[in-house]
Structure 1
Amino acid sequence: MAELIINNIGKLYRPREGEVEVFENASVRIEGGVFSDISERPLTPATDAAKVLDAGGMVAIPGIVDPHTHAVFAGDRTDELLMKLKGLSYLEILSSGGGIAKTLRETRAASREYLKELLRERIGEFMRWGVTTLEVKSGYGMDRDTEVKQLQAALEVETLSDVVTTFLGAHIIPPEYSDKREEYVSFLTDVMIPYVAERGLARFVDVFCDRGVYTLEEAEEILRAGKRHGLLLKIHSDELENLGATRMAAELGATSADHLLLSEEEDLQAMAEHGTVPVLLPGTVFTTFLPHYPDARRMLDAGLPVALATDFNPNCPLQNPFFVAQLAVFKMRMMPEDVLKALTVNAAKAIAEPQRGMVEEGLPADLVLLEVKSFTEALYRLGYDPIRVVVKGGKVVRRWVNGAR
């Protein structure tokens, strides 16, 4: 791979877990797909084959990491917007056969190749918004063939992005098991989790533990099975009701706990004690018409490395991390520095990808150039698209000139 130099970066933001360092009038050198030199002076190419890009004073941030998506599914749920506007709740739509149950039927009927085609398009749209690494969950099959089909599609899809997979067989109780929950939980713990783990189909196991979905006891049984088989742990928790799932998962060593609208002080303490990353999904609050957002400020004050994600799924068709970031600012009162870390270094930690989300020598060269004077301006300008260049692994994969996409 040819050497790439980017000079004349107005502000280069370098988030780390504890701080965000800003280089003025910065330059970066990329060799072999990694950052090899980061400087506050112009750099000159080492060979005639090098490519030199003038950033024109634009802002640079690390490639964005999305640590929570449900991006491999078939069908859509546009019709449910009208149901929500008429006052139906998430659980009411689900109990009527819509919601996840509807997507389950459509995804079961789809071929693996069709799912790969859909996912390729969706990952391309993520990349267009500066997302260079993302997590993708299964969970719209809840039978062996469809869950495996989803995970295989995510692993096999041809894309420049890095994809981390999560097994979410415990998304809902599938309709055919509605009166035999114990049997389905046993199917997950005794059949699916060993199968997924032995074949390397997923890095994580996840459970939706909330009112109307999985109980605390069921979720713990599933997570413990995942842990026995070498999978890392995640939990959907405290979205509709606090069942104690965040504390339980943290005590089991969960990498992240996600949603957290109703988390309490004990939950925050458990996450802090056990190193669990809180992943907040304000886009879902927005699209589901929920009454309040997570208390991000309290989590930050507790010293937690808050991460942000789109939660892209048929109920939250959102792939723009800057909209998520603006909700975090205007609805959760997160400071710009906290938002930047939440989209990059903290998000990478939430999917066990510590080499992502930073601009450091020797790390993969994922970078996004924004046509603003500061990162704060990108959050301030509602509806504005600041992205001009996306670099993935040292290669310019997206570039927009004079407004052309």
Structure 2
Amino acid sequence: MNLHEYQAKELLKKYNVPVQEGIAVDTVMAAEEAYRQIKNETGNNFAVIKAQIHAGGRGKGKIEGSEQRGVAVAKSLENVTEIAKNILGGTLVTIQTGAAGKKVNKILVAQDVYYPGPNPVKEFYLSILLDRTSGKNVIMYSTEGGMDIEEVAHNTPEKIFKEFVQPGAPLQGFQARKIAFNLGLSGESFKNCVKFVTNLYNAYVGVDAAMLEINPLFKTSDDKIIAVDCKLSLDDNALIRHADLANLRDESEEDPTEVEAGHYNLNFVKLDGNVGCMVNGAGLAMATMDMIKLSGGEPANFLDVGGSANAQTVEAGFRIILKDPKVKAILINIFGGIVRCDRVAQGVIDAYKSIGEIKIPIIVRLQGTNAEEAKKLIDESGLTVQSAILLSEAAELVNKAVSA
């Protein structure tokens, strides 16, 4: 589950991680009031206005139909008003959103941290995630912050450092000091960085994060170390331990069909293909998607109905697949182990009856528990459904459907 920047920063503050302070708002009037409050607190006329969407590249992205960037510096109240009007309600297109972009419902009015002082400012990069190869958490960091880390890794890989931490063990003091040293820090900024990294790792573990990225990690002119931006993704499987964090989910940022599927406990991911598929078990689902590609089609979705599927959940999955206008055929591939084939068959029949005429081919392959009962249900239903026993037969039927 992804969080907005302002939500992530509030969580970090609970773990004593210094952040760029700001106020999230959803109206122009509230943005103006937030600016006045920040100006009074800092004595600084400058403020940073940031679009709040679940995508990176906001600083380079533009509001559709204008030259307004997703992140902008305001120098006055008039600037704040103008920028807020341009961003709020607009569609921000970045390298990560694709051409469709994402609608901006909130902005963050944040303090300017580039204020003058005795020492130069510096931007770094730091992220924490699970390294699946080693089975350990890894802190990845670089002196080259504020830019795409992929470009740094490609062009100057020697500037990417990694520190591995055994799951269940805390970040050791020598590791935090090593990170500060490799970032080229000394004196007060070195000490502050050690505290920052230690508390940040505690936050990563404490909220059961899947990924925590700070870019830029910022050294101010008075040697403070703060998180200017934060991308935080929580492990969905751990949300049972964090009921308060589950409430931070913003469904408006997610694909509507994936949200609907989640309400029925269906594992669904929308893709760009032309063959809808409904399968039980992630492994069989992946194999089915491969089979669709080999037969000349392209998967329109990943849909695993799981082991607890019943007629109602199958019908829901059927409806979700049919909402995609690109779908030319539907392949239902069920191996009855925990889930019974007759339940799936009944769900297909119920969906047919409630939805009405379905004009695209439907290919059904049911094997395993109660497969014979399932075949009988479908045969006696009067539905126009093409049956297959072998996976190769299903592949041929898919090929005919997408080639028609």
Shorter-chain TM band: under 0.3
Q: Which protein has greater RCO, CA pairs closer than 8 Å, 6+ apart?
A: 1
User: Rg: which structure is higher?
Assistant: 2
TM-score by length of 2: 0.21
Q: TM-score, normalised by structure 1?
A: 0.21
